[in-house]
Amino acid sequence: MTGQGNGTPITVVMPTYNEAANVPRMAEAVLGLPLDGLHLKIVDDSSPDGTGRIAEELAEKYNADGTGRRRMSVLHRTEKDGLGRAYTAGMTAALEEGAEYVVQMDADGSHPVEAVPRMLEAAVTSGAGLVVGSRYVEGGSLDEDWGAHRVLLSRFANRYARTILGTPIHDITAGFNLWSADTLRDVDLSSLDSAGYSFQVELKYKAVRAGHRAVEVPIRFEERTEGVSKMTLRTQLESAVVPIRLRLKRRP
């Protein structure tokens, strides 16, 4: 599954906002994976630092590498209205373009690119509709540079959401996920309400509720080396409210 012979259409969707320092190395790492059917789609929210322009230049470079394949594309959005909205746009476009699997990945380098073939293999061999790159299963870990308060907050957020929603997924807030096209179509991306980081929780919850199997693959989550985090108080508050709202909707 991880060799060059694998031609399964798989698109990595990577939202960006002011990630000019990270996009070149991330594109190189993703497109260097030994997966023949791999495509990278950058979803840029009109970054003022020129991220969108840099991504276009990279796409031109990688699409002219002599393979004859369109390996990278850029989706430009005119407004910054949340991570969830950016993912919805990118994942919808990937499905329309024929992707059989879609990967969610941050542009800051916190998600280990080398884990993608392992996640794809787990999906194919298990038949799972969702593979989570998990920090909180055996073998998973967090960068030591994370402060104790961030570790506690992250673990609490996961336990909080899992308890309220009754889900078996250990890392339900994870942003590094691989989805089958069938699962995404079944959930219907256009029906999702969450605009921010809570999109991660809502999409997983609805997929499991719809009967799709989820498996977790351990990863090491790294601290970003360039740029600044996009997590705000507003997104944290939304993340606290969304599990309760989803639970209430489930009641008759």
What pLDDT is recorded for position 4?
46
What pLDDT is recorded for position 229?
52
Q: What domains are defined for the chain?
A: 10-250 (3.90.550.10)
**Token pair 């009967």 is at which residue?**
211
| pLDDT of the chain, 252 residues: tens digit per residue | 444 446 899 999 999 999 999 999 999 999 999 999 999 999 999 999 999 999 999 999 999 977 788 999 999 999 888 899 999 999 999 999 999 999 999 999 999 999 999 999 999 999 999 999 999 999 999 887 777 777 787 788 888 888 888 888 999 999 999 999 999 999 999 988 887 788 899 999 999 999 999 999 999 999 755 545 545 545 555 555 666 666 656 544
Q: What is the pLDDT of residues 98-143, one digit of tens each?
A: 999 999 999 999 999 999 999 999 999 999 999 999 999 999 998 8
Q: Which amino acid is at 70?
A: R
What pLDDT is recorded for position 234?
53
Q: State the number of CA atoms in the 13 A half-sphere of 67 facing the CB.
A: 14
What pLDDT is recorded for position 106?
95
In terms of C-beta distances under 8 Å and separation of at least 24 residues, what long-range contacts does 180-184 make, across chains too?
A: 180/100, 180/101, 180/123, 180/128, 180/129, 180/130, 180/212, 181/95, 181/99, 181/100, 181/101, 181/102, 182/129, 183/129, 183/130, 183/207, 183/210, 183/212, 184/91, 184/95, 184/102
Q: What burial class does residue 15 get, using C-beta atoms within 10 Å of its C-beta: 0-12 exposed, 13-18 middle, 19+ buried?
A: buried
